[in-house]
Amino acid sequence: MRRYFGRKLLIYILTFFIAVTVDWMIPRFMPGNPITILISRAGLRGNAVSEMYTYYLDAFGLDLPIWKQYLSFWAAILQGDLGTSIYLFPTPVKDVILRAVPYDLALLIPSTLLSWWAGNKFGAYAARSKKLDNTLLPLGYILTATPYMWLGILLAWVFAIVLGIFPVAGGFGFDLQPDLSWRFIGSLVHHWFLPFASLFIVQFGGWAIGMRNLIIYELESDYSHYLEALGAPRKLVRRYAFRNAMLPQLTGLALSLGAVVAGALATEVVFGYPGIGYLILQAINNEDYFLIQGCFLFVVIGVLLANFIIDVAYLIVDPRTRTGMQGGAG
C-alpha cells in the first residue's frame, strides 16, 4: 500500500514540477509587453512615465534575470503567493481566482458527475436494446457533437428570451447583494441552471455512447459467454459487464474532472457566468502573465487532484488493483 502510494506521489510531484515550469514559461514567450499596455491604459504621460515603468517592472519582478524570476516564482508559489494581476491591477491573482472558483465548482462538478452517472446508466440500459439503440442513441451522437457554445446560445434564446423563465447572464441576480438568504440562494440556483443544463446535455451524450459501446464489447467477451453458457440470468451477466465497463469510464471521469477547474470557457462566455474560463480568456487577451499562470496552476492542481482521487477510487471499485498491491507488498 505504502509503496503504491509512494510511487504515485513521486509521479505526481514530478508532473507538478514540469507542468508548473511550462506554465511559467508559456506567457513569457507570448509577444508583447504587459507593462507598456498597463501604463498606456492608465493614460499616463510625460517623462515620469519611465519612472512608473521602472516601478511596475520592479513591482512585478520583471526586471530580474530570467532564472531569478523563475526561482522567485517557485518561492512565491510555495508561500501561496501567485503575484498581482496586471489586468486587474492591483488585485492579487489569488483573490481574483478565489472569487471565481466557487462558481466553477458549483457548475462543473455537478454537471460532470451527474452526466457521468446518468450517461453511464442510460448507455448501459440502451446497449442491446434495439428500440433505444435505434431511436435515442442517434440523439446521443448529435448531443455529444454539439458545440457547447451553440447549445448554450440556443438554450439562452429559448428559455431566457422567448419563454423568459431563466435569466440571460450572471452568477446571481444583478439586483441582489450576496448573503445567506433563501432569496439569494434561489437566485444562484436560478442563474446556475441553464449553464449547468448546457454542460450536462452535451456531456451526457458522450458518456452514454461510450458506455453503450463498452457494454456491447463486454457482453461479447469470453467471460460473458461463459456465464451465459453456465445459465446465469441475463441480469447477472449484464451486471458483471457493467462493472468491467465502468473502469475505462472512471478514467475518463478523472480526466474531465481535472479540466473542471479550467471551466467550460465557452459556456461561461455565453452565459456571462463569472468562472475561471472567462478569466482565462480575459487574461490572455490582456497579456496578464500572472493571471494566466494562476489559472493554469489551478488547472494543473485540479487534474492531479482528480487523478489522485480516481486512483483511490480504483482501489475501491476494482478488486484487481487491491490484489496487485497486496501481492506487491507481500
Partner 1 sequence: MKRTTIFLVVLVTLSLLLGACQSATQAPVKPAPAATDAPAAAPTDAPVAEAPAVVDEPVAFERSETLYTSGTQWGPPSSWNPFNGGGYAMGTIGLVYETLYIYDPLADQFTPWLAAEDMKWADDTTLEIKLREGLTWSDGTPLTADDVKFTFELADPNGTYKASLNYIRLWNFLDSVEAVDDVTVHFKFNQTPYQEIGVFFYQTPIVPKHLWESKDVADITGGANEKGVGSGPYIFESNDQSRQVLVRNENWWGSEAFGKTPAPKRIVDIVNGSNNVALGLVLQGGLDISNNFLPGVASLVEGGYGVQTYYDDAPYMISANVATLIINEQKKPLDDVNFRRALAFAINTREIVENDYTGLVRAADPTGMMPTQDKYIDKEQLAELGWTYDPEKAKQILADAGYKDLDSDGFVEAPDGSKIELKVTCPSGWTDWMAAIQIISKGAKAVGMNIEPDYPTQGAWRDAQLQGTFELSIQNEAQMSSTIFNYYNWVFQNPATPEHISAAQFGNYGLYENAEAFELLNQLGSVPLGDDEALKEVASKLQKITLTEMPTIPLWYNGMWAQYSNAVWTNWPSAAEDANHYLPASWRGYWNLSGIQMLLELQPVPPQE
Q: What residues numbered 11-40 form the site for partner 1, per CB under 8 A? A: 30-37, 39-40
Specify the residue, 205 or 275, whose C-beta has the smaller distance to partner 1: 275
Considering only residues 89 through 108, tell me which ones interact with partner 1, judged by CB under 8 A.
Answer: 89-91, 96, 99-103, 105-107
Residue 319: cis peptide before it, omega within 30 degrees of 0 = no
Q: Does 225 bind partner 1 (CB under 8 A)?
A: no
Q: Does 165 bind partner 1 (CB under 8 A)?
A: no
Residues 6+ apart with CB under 8 A from 211: 119, 120, 122, 123, 124, 127, 245, 249
Specify the residue, 99 or 128, whose C-beta has the smaller distance to partner 1: 99
Q: Does 222 bind partner 1 (CB under 8 A)?
A: no
Q: Does 57 bind partner 1 (CB under 8 A)?
A: no
Give backbone dihedrals phi and psi of 84, rounded to 5 degrees, phi first.
-110, 135
Stretch that binds partner 1, among 65-73, 81-89, 213-221, 322-330 (CB under 8 A): 81-89
How far apart are CB 317 and partner 1 at their closest, in Å?
7
DSSP secondary structure code for residue 25 in this structure = H
How far apart are CB 91 and partner 1 at their closest, in Å?
5
* Alpha-carbon span 138 to 157, nearest angstrom: 24
Considering only residues 274 through 303, tell me which ones interact with partner 1, judged by CB under 8 A.
Answer: 274, 278, 282, 284-287
Stretch that binds partner 1, among 16-24, 140-148, 162-170, 213-221 (CB under 8 A): 162-170
Burial of 76 (0-12, 13-18, 19+ CB in 10 A): middle
Provide the grid cell at 79: 508561500
- The CA angle 80-17-1, to the nearest 5 degrees, is 100
In the stretch 231-260, what mask flags binding to partner 1 with x, by CB under 8 A?
A: -----------xx-----------------
Q: Does 71 bind partner 1 (CB under 8 A)?
A: no
Specify the residue, 157 or 226, whose C-beta has the smaller distance to partner 1: 157
User: Could you tell me which of 279, 220, 275, 320 has the C-alpha nearest to residue 93?
Assistant: 279
Stretch that binds partner 1, among 183-191, 202-210, 227-235, 297-305 (CB under 8 A): 183-191
Q: Does 51 bind partner 1 (CB under 8 A)?
A: yes
The C-alpha cell 440470468 sits at 233
User: Could you tell me which of 58, 46, 64, 56 has the C-alpha nearest to residue 90?
Assistant: 56
Give the residue, chosen from 4, 15, 16, 49, that forms a contact with partner 1 under the rule CB under 8 A: 49
Give backbone dihedrals phi and psi of 181, rounded to 5 degrees, phi first.
-125, 160
